[in-house]
Amino acid sequence: MSSTLKKKRNDLITTIKRHQEAYYSKDQPKISDEAYDQLVAELFSLDHELNIPRSSTEKTLGVGHKKRDEFFSVEHSTPMLSLDNAFSFDELDLFFKRVTDFIKKNRIDFVPKYSAEIKLDGVAVSLTYMDGELKTAATRGDGLVGEDITDNVKSMNGVPEVLNLKSKNKSNITYFENSIIEIRGEVIFSKKDFERFNKYQERASEKLFSNPRNAAAGSLRQLDAAITKSRPLTFIVHGVGKTSGSITDDLITHSSFLELMESVGFKIIRPRIKNGHPNIIKDYINQILNIRESLPVEIDGIVVKIENYELQSMLGSTVRAPRFAIAYKLPSETAITEVIGIDIQVGRFGTLTPVARLKTVSIGGVNISNATLHNEDELRKKGVKIGDRVEVRRAGDVIPEVVRTVNTSIRKSDNSLSFEIPKFCPSCGGKTERLEGEVARRCISGKKCPAQFEQAFVHFVSKKAMNIDGLGTKLIQQLIRENLVNALDDIYNLKYFQLEKLDRFGAKSAQNLISSIDKSRVTTPAKLLYALGIRHVGLQTAKAICDALTCFEELFSLAPEKLALIDDIGPVVMFSVSSFFETRENLELTKRLLNEVSFKKEVFNKKGVFAGKNIVFTGTLRTLKRALAQELVQKNGGTCSGIITKKTDLCVAGEKAGSKAREAQKMKIKVIAEEEFLAMIDKNI
């Protein structure tokens, strides 16, 4: 082993150990999970090059610090969405009003009732049961694909492996027979279990955790299921995902579902409200605020949901969150500290964000040294100056922000310095502008701005986009600095000898990166569209758009009115997508990328009833959820689209079918009802 490589390996181990201590021992992570995983991957790659056994390195790093990629993937049957937030009763009233307005607009003879329950600060997990037996458990992951943790949750407190119904009226055997039900909930440490666990860790001279949520997350990511099972974790049910079979008939309201789950061995959280109206919900929130500290679990809010599942289905979801539920966020913990400087960060879309550099302070067990000031209006409104003492909180318990200045009346002019948002970009020196109606000032140089190009590059190679392993921020900065990449597609022209010459980059690391780049050449249209970094286009929005296309190139000249026909695509997204491809540089970049990548081919049932046919759904389906109906089409050889085109073969019209059905009739495309669609499926089984 050469002295250079030995030093490189020792330095890498020291860095990893430091981040392990920050995350696992102190619960003060300094880097993201992805950045940590890249460091470990680099170490294993170096060990392979030096013929050092992997088991030896694993022993050095300790148990529980392995890559999440080593778990098997589980694709969620329906996305595990997040929740929109309300931070005041006024914002909660807006949620209630939206529900009421929807009911009136659609002339629904229904008085909405609401449930309310504690929002647990844990780790989201889904459990899938078939015929009453646990088959799969998965983490949320990115909402679409999670990690298989089935072995880890078996025997966990609150997770029955077989569902035994205690009701006298129904048979234990037949009730769940031929049924699939996906149970969603939160894995937590109770406060008492967490305290007891930490004492055990201390006696065993093992690492201590600073809060229950981090302890739960660290326990679930163990690749050795025996370690997870040795820890006092508990699963609490809070919702339902995909269902089929006889069980579906009994799922009428959210509260009745929770009570059914409790009767078959699951745990639910109390106190909670069922069938309440807005004033009762607010009283409950005030009650929880008063008893928050005495609760046996850590919480970060209250979840308010429509009780009735049929009304939930009518309200539907956006690509990010359901419209039938909202999280009322409880006040975050705050702390007082001093502003020692203010920097400007330039984001992926050119947004200039003022960030306060702080004297380090601990909030909720996490060390905070930087906090956002959001924009120039907020900076001016809060009157923050360098040298001020400020109140800081973790907004939504995640993003640190400055709430207000403290004791400005005694501010000394000699130690408080004013700060103004620059009129020119601190990265490229280019002009900035603030459009009417926007709060953000932006650099208008686009990817010509080094900061924006760097952030665009980081996004392009990220896991949800092109998923190129081994390309961290520091390496991307070095590639840009060495003039090896000047556009996103340049990544596909990198040569082995160019990478090998980079700082802290060996022959094996260079080969691994080239392999990872080549692997990314096979992707999906949605991932490529998302990777382009179009403003307002997330992965699920990209998927919705691509599902409506006959080919990717259709985007280059796709009329806004066709985009408007796609579910959940509003005018803001329409303008953003259209503007992106109207720009010559973006269009040429996309065309070059299409020459570098290929799309995965879907394998269809060539003998299915919909073989080779393109199907469009419109309106509300009574029997099936839209996602399940589309899945049935694909399993029977067909494809689904969100818009009517000359390539559409069949339009399935549910209740309140709109313009798509009329457009199909005009184009003489066959339109059938849901019942006929189901009959076609049944006939083919």
Q: Is the pLDDT of residue 3 over 80?
A: no
- Do 169 and 258 reside in the same domain of the chain? yes
* Alpha-carbon distances, residue 218 vs 225, 277, 396, 584 (angstroms): 12, 39, 21, 47
- Using alpha carbons, select from 547, 567, 685, 682 the residue that is nearest to residue 623: 682
Q: Is residue 162 part of a domain?
A: yes
- Alpha-carbon span 154 to 133, nearest angstrom: 11
Q: Is the pLDDT of residue 214 over 70?
A: yes
Write down the H helix ranges in 520-645.
525-531, 539-547, 560-564, 571-582, 584-596, 626-635
- Alpha-carbon span 539 to 488, nearest angstrom: 18
The total number of structural domains that make up the chain:
6
- Do 406 and 321 reside in the same domain of the chain? no
Write down the H helix ranges in 206-357.
212-220, 225-229, 254-263, 278-291, 309-315
Helix (H) or strand (E) holding 589: helix 584-596
- Dump pLDDT digits (tens) for 295-305: 888 888 999 99
Domain ranges, residue 653: 614-684
Boundary residue ending a domain (402, 433, 464): 433
- Dump pLDDT digits (tens) for 156-205: 899 998 887 644 444 444 467 778 899 999 999 988 888 888 777 766 65
- Do 239 and 289 reside in the same domain of the chain? yes
Q: Is the pLDDT of residue 238 over 90?
A: yes
8 Å CB contact between 88 and 326: no
Give the pLDDT score at 518.
94
- Alpha-carbon span 363 to 400, nearest angstrom: 9
- Do 419 and 530 reside in the same domain of the chain? no
- Alpha-carbon span 467 to 458, nearest angstrom: 10
Residue 491, phi-psi category: left (phi > 0), alpha (psi -120 to 50), beta (remainder): alpha
- The mean pLDDT of 626-638, rounded to a whole number, is 77
- Do 172 and 312 reside in the same domain of the chain? yes
Amino acid at 205: S
DSSP string, 629-641: HHHHHHHTT-EEE
- Do 273 and 173 reside in the same domain of the chain? yes
Q: Is residue 344 part of a domain?
A: yes
Q: Apex CA 452: angle with CA 446 and CA 453, to 5°? A: 90
Structure tokens at 286: 């005030």
- CATH number, position 671: 3.40.50.10190
For 22-36, 134-148, 377-391, 661-675, which range has the lowest pLDDT when averaged over its residues? Answer: 22-36
8 Å CB contact between 406 and 375: no
Catalytic residue among 26, 113, 119, 207: 119
Q: Is residue 606 part of a domain?
A: no
- Do 364 and 460 reside in the same domain of the chain? no
- Do 409 and 469 reside in the same domain of the chain? no
- The mean pLDDT of 60-74, rounded to a whole number, is 57
- CATH number, position 458: 1.10.150.20
Q: What is the pTM (predicted TM-score) of this model?
A: 0.51
Q: Is residue 666 part of a domain?
A: yes
Boundary residue ending a domain (24, 46, 70): 70
**Beta strands 614-618 and 650-653, pairing class:** parallel
Q: Around Cβ 644, how many Cβ atoms within 10 Å?
A: 24
**Beta strands 114-120 and 123-130, pairing class:** unpaired
Question: b/e map of 354-369 (b: 16 or more CB within 10 Å)?
Answer: bbbebeebebbebebe
Largest CA distance in the chain: 83
Q: Is the pLDDT of residue 460 over 90?
A: yes
- Do 62 and 95 reside in the same domain of the chain? no
- Dump pLDDT digits (tens) for 405-453: 886 555 544 556 788 888 999 999 999 998 887 778 999 998 899 999 9
Q: Is residue 80 part of a domain?
A: no
Give the pLDDT score at 205.
58
- Do 427 and 543 reside in the same domain of the chain? no
- CATH number, position 387: 2.40.50.140
Give the pLDDT score at 184.
95
- The mean pLDDT of 97-103, rounded to a whole number, is 94
Q: Is residue 438 part of a domain?
A: no
Q: Is residue 117 part of a domain?
A: yes
- CATH number, position 158: 3.30.470.30
Q: Around Cβ 181, how many Cβ atoms within 10 Å?
A: 23
- Do 200 and 283 reside in the same domain of the chain? yes
- CATH number, position 61: 1.10.287
Amino acid at 151: D
Q: Which residues lie closer than 8 Å to 581 by C-beta, 6 or more apart?
A: 555, 556, 557, 558, 587, 590
Q: What percent of the chain shows pLDDT beyond 90?
A: 35
- Dump pLDDT digits (tens) for 504-520: 788 888 899 999 999 99
Q: Is residue 657 part of a domain?
A: yes
β-bridge partners, 129: 134, 181
- Do 143 and 254 reside in the same domain of the chain? yes
Give the pLDDT score at 354.
93
Q: Is the pLDDT of residue 49 over 80?
A: no
- Dump pLDDT digits (tens) for 108-152: 888 899 999 999 988 899 999 988 889 999 988 777 888 889 989
- Answer yes or no: 647 catalytic: no
Boundary residue ending a domain (463, 495, 520): 520
Question: What is the helix, strand, coil percentage profile of the chain, to 5?
Answer: 40, 20, 35
Where residue 67 falls among pLDDT bands split at 50, 70, 90? very low
- Alpha-carbon span 671 to 618, nearest angstrom: 10
